Chain A
C-alpha cells in the first residue's frame, strides 16, 4: 500500500520569504501522480500544484514550485515570496497512475503553515 509522510506538522515563515514543505512517499509503482493541496481556514481544499511521475521536469505554478526526486521518493513544495494568504494547512497527496476509473488520493498528515507579517 502507498503511504505519504509529511514530517513537519508546523512551519512558519516571514512574509515575502521562501519556505519549503517536505513530503516523502512510499510506492512500488513507477507511474503515479503527486499533488499539493491547500486548506485555508475556510476548509476548502484547493489544488496548488500537480506532478506527473513520468515527467522529470519539476512543476511550477507562479510562486509555487516543487522539487520532485523520484529515486528518493521525495516531493517538496517551495513557496516563494510568501504572502499572508498562503497561511493554511498543506497536504501532499499520491494517486496511482492508472488513468481511467476511480483512483483514490492518499494524503499525508498535513503541514500547518503560518505567515508572520
Chain B
C-alpha cells in the first residue's frame, strides 16, 4: 500500500487554466506539506497543514490555494497557471507528536508542465 499518494503524476496544461493536485496519506499522520521542486531541482516548502489547520504559508502567489478536507488529504489548487508554475510538486506527511516522529515521508511527485 502506498503511504503517500498523489494524483495525477503528470499534468500538462495550457497557460491560464486552473488545475488541482490531490494528495492522500494512509500513515495516520497529523501534518501534511506541499513542496515545489523547480527546474534546477531545488526544493522549497509552500504550505503545511496540521490537523486541517494551515500552519505554514510561505511566500507563494495567491493563485495557489491549499485545502485540507481531513487529516489524510491535502489538495493544491492552482488558478490562472503561468509558465513559471512548471515544476514538480511533492506532497509529504509527518507525525511530529514526539521525538522520533519528525521524518517527513514524500509522495511520488506531480510533474506539472504549463505550455
- Describe B's contact surface by its main secondary structure: strand
- Residue B44 contacts which of A50, A99, A100, A107 (CB distance < 8 angstroms)? A107
What residues of chain A lie closer than 8 Å to B42, measured between beta carbons? 107, 109-110
Count A/B pairs, Cβ under 8 Å: 67
Given A47-B103, A102-B31, A102-B55; 20 other pairs, CB 8 A cutoff:
A33-B102, A43-B88, A43-B108, A44-B106, A45-B90, A50-B102, A52-B99, A91-B43, A99-B96, A100-B97, A101-B96, A102-B50, A103-B102, A104-B48, A104-B58, A105-B35, A105-B43, A105-B45, A107-B42, A107-B43
Q: List 29 A-B contacts (CB under 8 A).
A: A35-B103, A37-B106, A39-B41, A43-B88, A43-B111, A44-B106, A45-B90, A45-B106, A47-B103, A47-B105, A50-B102, A89-B41, A91-B43, A95-B104, A99-B96, A99-B97, A99-B98, A100-B96, A101-B55, A102-B31, A102-B33, A102-B56, A104-B48, A104-B58, A105-B45, A105-B92, A107-B42, A107-B43, A109-B41
Give the interface of A toward B (CB within 8 A).
33, 35, 37, 39, 42-47, 50, 52, 89, 91, 95, 99-107, 109-110
